[in-house]
Amino acid sequence: MITKAFACYSLNDEERSHSSSGGIYPLIAREVIHNGGVVYAACYDDNLDVCHRTIENEHEIVDSQGSKYVQSSLSTTFRSIISRLRNYESVLFVGTPCQCAGLVSLVNETKTPRTHLYVIDFVCHGVPGRVAWNGYKKSKSLEGNNIASINMRDKSTGWTYGNYAWKEIMDNGSTTVTPRRQNPYMKGMLANLYLRPSCYSCSFKGVNRCTDITLGDYWGVWDHLPEMDDNKGTSLVLVHTEQGMRLFEGITDSIKIADANIERAIKGNSCIAESTKYNEKREEFFERLNKGENFITIVDGLTKTSLISKVKKMMINSLNTRGGIS
Ligand SMILES: Cc1cc2nc3c(=O)[nH]c(=O)nc-3n(C[C@H](O)[C@H](O)[C@H](O)COP(=O)(O)OP(=O)(O)OC[C@H]3O[C@@H](n4cnc5c(N)ncnc54)[C@H](O)[C@@H]3O)c2cc1C
Ligand code: SF4
């Protein structure tokens, strides 16, 4: 099947507010669970580390919503999926394109029946490993702020033009909502300072994928399809297979939807087709972090831009369609 592209968002505003884009993932997850299947998706654990978990009940879906900019630990996820597929149980796996490719190749190599497996990846900017994330958490605790819960894609400040925020709730109950470019962790991630090495030459780009569906933020929808932008998050959905289309059709009563033009969508979201640019200061970042220097101090120093580069960046931004990494 030729990949089909859609702009869409969930009609459930409350649920969409917990998701990074249009809230399409929770609708699909619910559809799979309603039909007797299970979902494997990324959640925070008690230490705010990210790991894939099995989701068997609707009320657990919320724990897996939202982008987490940390590599998710898969642990025994693939083994558990293979065993369910051999028992003809339906399974939905959601992960980075490289995690999905790993699962699909294992399923093929082990000659496991794929008919009951749905695989969803997302447009991927890249993920930082756990070392950077632990460095950030440590810096916060040295300031006397232990993070109790986090939303790296808070939409209380909006979504259009990438205007989302970073929200932290501390263990003393205080809450901070910071524009994404002002939070040190996000600042370093946006500068590509500490993504995993493979993310700078990623083999899983492009429109042709081994997955059933690809989800992304529809950056630029405000120009392409303004009626599909209400500042609460719009998804770009790429459906690659008949199996993916059947799954997607199961949720169309719950979404607002419009056909999208893939070429235009790619223009506003380079991460669909291209790897993220390597930051020459990456080595220095890890050297200093490994020597025990404070994460926030290092990021502040290495992401400082001169006045000339700031002006240059502002001019480029005003010429291009604005967006945010997701
Ligand atoms: C690290 C990362 C980078 C991304 N980069 C881009 C980008 O450059 N451009 C773009 O358009 N979209 C990007 N996305 C995807 C986008 O932000 C949304 O996640 C996607 O559009 C789905 O949104 P939703 O509203 O339908 O559901 P959401 O509720 O936001 O669904 C999020 C889904 O992603 C899974 N997930 C979250 N974090 C991780 C993780 N660390 N590892 C594996 N799975 C995870 C969750 O388990 C859930 O299934 C990225 C997402 C992540 C996690
Ligand atoms: S950018 Fe590529 S290598 Fe990096 S996490 Fe995403 S899919 Fe994997």
Whether residues 40 and 98 fall in one domain: yes
Q: Are strands 91-94 and 117-122 parallel, antiparallel or unpaired?
A: parallel
How many independent structural domains does the chain possess?
A: 2
What is the rounded distance in angstroms from the CA atom of residue 190 to the CA atom of residue 99?
22
pLDDT of 219 reads 95
Q: What is the mean pLDDT of the chain?
A: 93
The tens digit of pLDDT for each residue in 44-95 reads 999 999 999 999 999 999 999 999 999 999 999 999 999 999 999 999 999 9
Of the pLDDT bands very low, low, confident and very high (cuts 50, 70, 90), residue 323 is low
Beta bridge partner(s), residue 119? 93
Establish if 143 belongs to a structural domain. Answer: yes
Establish if 326 belongs to a structural domain. Answer: no
| Degrees to nearest 5, angle at CA 203 with 21 and 275 | 55
The tens digit of pLDDT for each residue in 216-265 reads 999 999 999 999 999 999 999 999 999 999 999 999 999 999 999 999 99
Whether residues 223 and 181 fall in one domain: no
Ligand 1 near 122 CB (within 6 A):
yes
Whether residues 17 and 147 fall in one domain: no
Query: Which residues, other chains included, contact 213 with Cβ-Cβ below 8 Å and sequence gap of 6+?
Result: 28, 118, 120, 121, 237, 238, 239, 240, 244, 247, 248
pLDDT of 316 reads 61
Query: Which residues, other chains included, contact 248 with Cβ-Cβ below 8 Å and sequence gap of 6+?
Result: 6, 28, 213, 237, 239
Establish if 135 belongs to a structural domain. Answer: yes
Sheet architecture: strand order including 4-10:
50-55, 38-44, 91-94, 117-122, 213-217, 235-239, 4-10, 255-259
- DSSP H helices, the chain, are 13-17, 24-34, 61-64, 77-86, 97-109, 130-142, 184-190, 221-224, 242-249, 262-268, 282-290, 295-302, 307-319
Establish if 250 belongs to a structural domain. Answer: yes
Q: Are strands 213-217 and 117-122 parallel, antiparallel or unpaired?
A: parallel
Establish if 115 belongs to a structural domain. Answer: yes
Of the pLDDT bands very low, low, confident and very high (cuts 50, 70, 90), residue 169 is very high
Contact between 222 and 239 (Cβ < 8 Å): no
pLDDT of 117 reads 97
Whether residues 165 and 291 fall in one domain: yes
For residue 71, what is the domain's CATH number? 3.40.640
Ligand 1 near 65 CB (within 6 A):
yes
Q: Which of 285, 244, 317 is nearest to 24 (CA)?
A: 244
pLDDT of 1 reads 83
Whether residues 264 and 307 fall in one domain: no
Q: Which of 114, 80, 91, 89 is nearest to 210 (CA)?
A: 114
Establish if 298 belongs to a structural domain. Answer: yes
- On the question of pLDDT at 321 being above 60, the answer is no
Of the pLDDT bands very low, low, confident and very high (cuts 50, 70, 90), residue 305 is confident
Last residue within a domain, chosen from 256, 272, 288? 272
The tens digit of pLDDT for each residue in 268-284 reads 899 999 999 999 999 99
What is the rounded distance in angstroms from the CA atom of residue 183 to the CA atom of residue 164?
12
Whether residues 187 and 211 fall in one domain: no
Domain containing 190: what range? 130-194+280-321
pLDDT > 70: what percent of the chain? Answer: 94
What's the length of the chain?
326
- On the question of pLDDT at 153 being above 70, the answer is yes
Whether residues 59 and 14 fall in one domain: yes
Whether residues 78 and 223 fall in one domain: yes
Measuring from atom 3 of ligand 2, which residue has the nearest CA?
199
- On the question of pLDDT at 324 being above 90, the answer is no
Whether residues 17 and 83 fall in one domain: yes
Distance of CA 285 to the CA centre of its chain: 23
Whether residues 76 and 185 fall in one domain: no
CA of 103 to the centre of ligand 2 (A): 14
What is the rounded distance in angstroms from the CA atom of residue 283 to the CA atom of residue 290?
11
Establish if 260 belongs to a structural domain. Answer: yes
The tens digit of pLDDT for each residue in 99-109 reads 999 999 999 99
User: Rg of the chain's alpha carbons, rounded to an integer?
Assistant: 19
Ligand 1 near 266 CB (within 6 A):
no
Distance of CA 72 to the CA centre of its chain: 11
Whether residues 101 and 153 fall in one domain: no
pLDDT of 315 reads 65
The tens digit of pLDDT for each residue in 180-226 reads 989 999 999 999 999 999 999 999 999 999 999 999 999 999 999 99
Question: What tokens does 93 get?
Answer: 């796996």
Site to probe by mutation for ligand 2, drawn from 67, 204, 274 as the one with most ligand atoms within 8 Å of Cβ, is 204
Whether residues 178 and 205 fall in one domain: no
Task: Read off the pLDDT of each residue in 136-142 and give the average, rounded to a whole number.
Answer: 93
Is the model's pTM score more than 0.85? yes
What is the rounded distance in angstroms from the CA atom of residue 231 to the CA atom of residue 163?
9
Ligand 1 near 221 CB (within 6 A):
no
Ligand 1 near 72 CB (within 6 A):
yes
Beta bridge partner(s), residue 169? 149, 175
What is the rounded distance in angstroms from the CA atom of residue 229 to the CA atom of residue 273?
23
